Amino acid sequence: MPSLFGKSLSGVKVRHCKNTADMPAVRMPIPDKVVIPMLQHMGAPCNLLVQVGETVTVGQKIGDTDAFLSVPVHSSVSGTVSAVIDFVSANGDKCKAAVIDTDKAQTPCPDLRAPVVQSHKDLVQAARDCGLDGLGGAGFPTHIKLNPKNLAEVNTLVINGAECEPYITCDTRLMLDRTDDLLAGISVLQKYLGVERVIIGIEDNKPQCIEKLTRATASMDGVSVRTLRSKYPQGAEKVLIYETTGRVVAEGQLPADQGVIVLNVATTAKLAEYLRTGMPLVEKMLTVDGGAVTRPQNIIAPIGTEIRDLIAFCGGYKEPAKKLLMGGPMMGLVVVSDDYPLIKNNNAILAFNQKESVQEPETACIRCGRCVAACPFDLMPLELDAAYHAEDTHALSLYKVNLCMECGCCSYVCPAKRHLVMSNRLGKKLLKEKGI
């Protein structure tokens, strides 16, 4: 099976740890306050549109910008803006954030209306007005993805239901519990994108989802379910495109260049909900799990809810959390405190105990080549690691560090416990700083 560079789309077998897969999401009570950053998407931060002391309502737009790569931010609660703070995200991005003391009334914004969509242009505008970005984790603005320059050449929509990260099961529950919204979103996308076929890709460790969606889509023209091997990173965009369509998105290309648009199941379902209700993206379904959590479960919470409140709703910590992750254990980001807020593209909070957090010491590379064999893009992580530590920008470019999607396969299989994916991440940053 060819890959981007003519070998095999590899990856790794990981422990699934899908402990909450049989738990429908439970809506948590409104917290006393939320912290809503103005950057919850890939691209430019929003400008804050509210001031301290101002009263806000649910769904009210509180942040926006004219920048191309951005989406607006809305209040997830009704209440009063009590502070505006400088916020540093888990990946180091800086922006303003609004702190809102909630009144628990959840008064909806009186200006909200379900949009009227009668054209592709209307669909794109609705996706932006919703504040929608990639809810599977990437955070790329959805309205831009839906409006490629070569729309006439796009003939396939791939819906990502792989959910290949360990622990995370919120997409599984969405496919099972919000099937109608998912199918409604597919129908409207199929109509206004003008695609010939829609493929829903689901890993084979989710037989209930495969069975339900296969039955549900049987009467939908051009829509099918594709069963995927349970192999990480099956849900990565380029990998998913190959596994569902056989098309290769080469270096420097976008999926649309191969006639494909990819959307996560949660993004698709939320678009349908917005078209039905007019309520923008103000809450998130996520998985809370890990050995330090008393009662792991899937929950629905307002965006901006602090991690400590999410954990408290799950019964609190049953033992000290030695590591907190936003996202899965392969690609998630470590946060230093549980006062970090839930953001749009965060689909899990994992609180690991001491045993789960033990990090074995890094030792010398033994040149075994396992990292090369595991890389889905046939990169050479050992050479990239050496290039980063030598600050060799030429070698970083030569070995294509910017192609790395930071899936973590290389670090996962390394017997020397080298921090390979971190070297790639820092190598990209080095090239950016040098203007390369």
pLDDT digits (tens, 9 = 90+) for 45-76: 999 999 999 999 999 999 999 999 999 999 99
Residue 5 is predicted with a pLDDT of: 39
Task: Tell me how far apart the alpha carbons of residues 108 and 78 are, in angstroms, rounded to a whole number.
Answer: 7
* CATH architecture of the domain formed by 120-277: 3-Layer(aba) Sandwich (3.40)
Is the pLDDT at 330 greater than 80? The verdict is: yes
| SS3 label, residue 321 | coil
Q: Residue 252 — very low, low, confident or very high, per pLDDT cuts 50/70/90? A: confident
Lowest mean pLDDT among 117-126, 190-199, 243-252, 349-358: 243-252
pTM passes above 0.85 = yes
Residue 9 is predicted with a pLDDT of: 63
Contacts of residue 92, Cβ cutoff 8 Å, sequence gap at least 6: none
Residue 349, φ and ψ in degrees, nearest 5? -120, 120
Span(s) in the chain for CATH 3.40.50.11540: 120-277
Sheet holding 55-56: strands in order across?
33-37, 94-102, 79-88, 55-56
Is the pLDDT at 4 greater than 80? The verdict is: no
The per-residue pLDDT of the chain, averaged, comes to: 95
Higher per-residue confidence, 432 vs 99: 99
For residue 114, give the DSSP letter: P
Residue 93 is predicted with a pLDDT of: 86
Helix ranges, 314-415 (H): 354-357, 370-374, 381-389, 393-398, 409-413
Residue 87 is predicted with a pLDDT of: 95
Is the pLDDT at 129 greater than 80? The verdict is: yes
